[in-house]
Chains A and B, each alone.
Chain A
């Protein structure tokens, strides 16, 4: 199993540009989520999904959209990038009954100029 994969690993955007961060898992996990981690800080939940077609907001959802059309994929869209969105983004997944035990991807390091 590849586990949780994220692409790209690094990305530089200009203010106002949009982009999609990709996340995929091959463990048939129902639950998937996106976190961001700012320098020297803990992780903060952006959006999460408990299954295909179901998404909900986390702590810091503004400026981000998600959709979950398949069990495997959970892309995160930045609508109009701002410097405040410069961060490392982590995707995670787990079985719905074991959501305390999440598998994390390697992260995408995003810089917005």
Chain B
């Protein structure tokens, strides 16, 4: 599984877009980029994932660079409830994935009023 690196912490003003970067320079061609978040004391929550193309859902957008060595999770209008630790994970999809997600330290996002 590819190793990912993220900044330890970030701040964002409420109502502004939060852009969380992730580097995965050793990602393999069949590895997806997954994002999870963990709000204090709760279980992690899946946000979004992608392979090559940019993805958007009701929670966030995921921008993956053309060389796939980095990606950015975008929360378009951050609220105080988005304060959490955000994890970027690179792993394969499909039956070859045994589900052993490797959670690093993640980025602590603090949304401020």
**Interface positions of A (Cβ within 8 A of B):** 4, 31, 33, 35, 41-45, 48, 50, 56, 58, 88, 90, 92, 94, 96-107
0/1 string, B86-100, CB within 8 A of A gives 1:
010101111101111
Residues on B with beta carbons closer than 8 Å to the beta carbon of A41: 105
Residues on A with beta carbons closer than 8 Å to the beta carbon of B46: 101-103
* A44 to B, closest residue via Cβ: B103
Report the minimum CB–CB distance from B44 to chain A (whole Å).
5
Residue of A4, A35, A42, A104 touching B105 (CB-CB under 8 A):
A42
Residues on A with beta carbons closer than 8 Å to the beta carbon of B97: 97, 99-100
Residue of B41, B42, B87, B94 touching A42 (CB-CB under 8 A):
B87
* A93 to B, closest residue via Cβ: B99
The answer to whether A104 touches B49 (Cβ under 8 A) is no
Interchain CA distance A33-B97 in the complex, whole Å: 13
How many B residues face the partner with a CB closer than 8 A?
Answer: 26
Mostly, the A contact residues are strand
Interchain CA distance A94-B44 in the complex, whole Å: 13
The answer to whether B99 touches A50 (Cβ under 8 A) is yes
Interchain CA distance A92-B92 in the complex, whole Å: 18
Interchain CA distance A88-B43 in the complex, whole Å: 10
Residue of A31, A35, A48, A104 touching B45 (CB-CB under 8 A):
A104
A45-B101, A97-B93, A107-B43 given. 9 additional CB < 8 A pairs? A33-B99, A48-B98, A92-B43, A97-B94, A100-B49, A100-B89, A100-B92, A100-B101, A107-B41
The answer to whether A43 touches B100 (Cβ under 8 A) is no
Q: B104 in the interface, Cβ–Cβ < 8 Å? A: yes
Residues on A with beta carbons closer than 8 Å to the beta carbon of B92: 100
Listed A/B pairs (9) with beta-carbon separation below 8 Å: A43-B103, A48-B99, A92-B99, A97-B94, A99-B99, A100-B32, A104-B44, A105-B43, A106-B42
